[in-house]
């Protein structure tokens, strides 16, 4: 999970660097296109004014030179061709500006979406890492506690076994059969009962009656 967060951060940093470079290029292209449109518009205006004045000067001529077979018509055809070409160029620069602005807006939108989604994923992954770290810490604490409980229980068991080993010889008669042990226990019980009667005074009373 930590590796995923690092990869996401690296991807965002790379995308941001590319977006900044793209933005700078687009801004420069838009600025150049705008300046070019202004320059072409000025050139068109100057040419139109020039050809207009040339036409007016031609109209003032009262007599055609004898060397011409037809009357002089001025520079109308030439002016139309040059101005038309410049207007096409101006239109191309305007289209370049519009397309570049649209590309810039789309690039910014995609970058914002990518960074937003990456931020959400990073926050989610960071929270998961935090939860896992907390769980791991809790599990380690529980394991330490269980180990301590186990060690304490083992010490108690060892002490009980040692005590049992001390009592075992007095409780178990090695080499004595079951019937002998039963008879011995019966004699011990009778002896205890007789001792109890003596203590209660029953045997003294019996001996006096005798």
Domain assignment of residue 158, yes or no: no
- For 120, half-sphere exposure in the C-beta direction (CA atoms, 13 angstrom radius) is 5
Rg of the chain in Å (alpha carbons): 57
- pLDDT band at residue 84, thresholds of 50, 70 and 90? confident
Residue 189 and residue 87 share a domain: no
Q: Which residue has the higher pLDDT, 176 or 41?
A: 41
Cβ distance 15 to 111 under 8 Å?
yes
Which tens digit of pLDDT belongs to each residue from 92-143? 999 999 999 999 999 999 999 999 988 888 888 888 877 888 888 888 888 8
Mean pLDDT of the chain: 78
Residue 189 and residue 89 share a domain: no
Residue 182 and residue 107 share a domain: no
Domain assignment of residue 165, yes or no: no
Residue 79 and residue 122 share a domain: yes
pTM: 0.50
Question: Which residue range(s) make up the domain with 199?
Answer: 177-210
Domain assignment of residue 156, yes or no: no
Q: By percentage, how much of the chain surpasses pLDDT 70?
A: 74
Domain assignment of residue 119, yes or no: yes
Residue 145 and residue 106 share a domain: yes
Residue 206 and residue 134 share a domain: no
- Whether the per-residue pLDDT at 200 is higher than 80: the answer is no
Domain assignment of residue 190, yes or no: yes
Which tens digit of pLDDT belongs to each residue from 19-72? 999 999 999 999 999 999 999 999 888 888 888 787 666 655 544 455 444 444
- Whether the per-residue pLDDT at 193 is higher than 60: the answer is yes
Residue 115 and residue 25 share a domain: yes
Task: State the total domains in the chain.
Answer: 2
């Amino acid at each position: 999970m930590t590796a995923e967060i690092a990869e996401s951060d690296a991807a965002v940093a790379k995308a941001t660097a590319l977006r900044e470079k793209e933005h700078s290029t687009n801004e420069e292209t838009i600025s150049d296109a705008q300046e070019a449109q202004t320059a072409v518009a000025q050139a068109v205006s100057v040419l139109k004014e020039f050809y207009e004045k040339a036409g007016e000067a031609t109209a003032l001529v009262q007599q055609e030179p004898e060397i011409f077979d037809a009357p002089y018509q001025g520079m109308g055809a030439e002016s139309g061709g040059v101005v038309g070409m410049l207007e096409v160029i101006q239109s191309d620069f305007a289209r370049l500006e519009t397309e570049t602005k649209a590309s810039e807006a789309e690039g910014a939108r995609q970058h914002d979406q990518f960074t937003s989604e990456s931020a959400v994923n990073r926050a989610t992954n960071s929270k998961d890492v935090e939860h896992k770290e907390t769980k791991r810490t809790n599990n380690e604490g529980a394991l330490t506690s269980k180990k301590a409980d186990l060690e304490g229980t083992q010490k108690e068991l060892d002490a009980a076994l040692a005590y049992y080993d001390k009592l075992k010889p007095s409780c178990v008669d090695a080499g004595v059969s079951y019937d002998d042990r039963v008879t011995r226990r019966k004699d011990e019980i009778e002896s205890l009962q007789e001792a109890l009667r003596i203590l209660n005074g029953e045997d003294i009373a019996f001996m006096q009656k005798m």
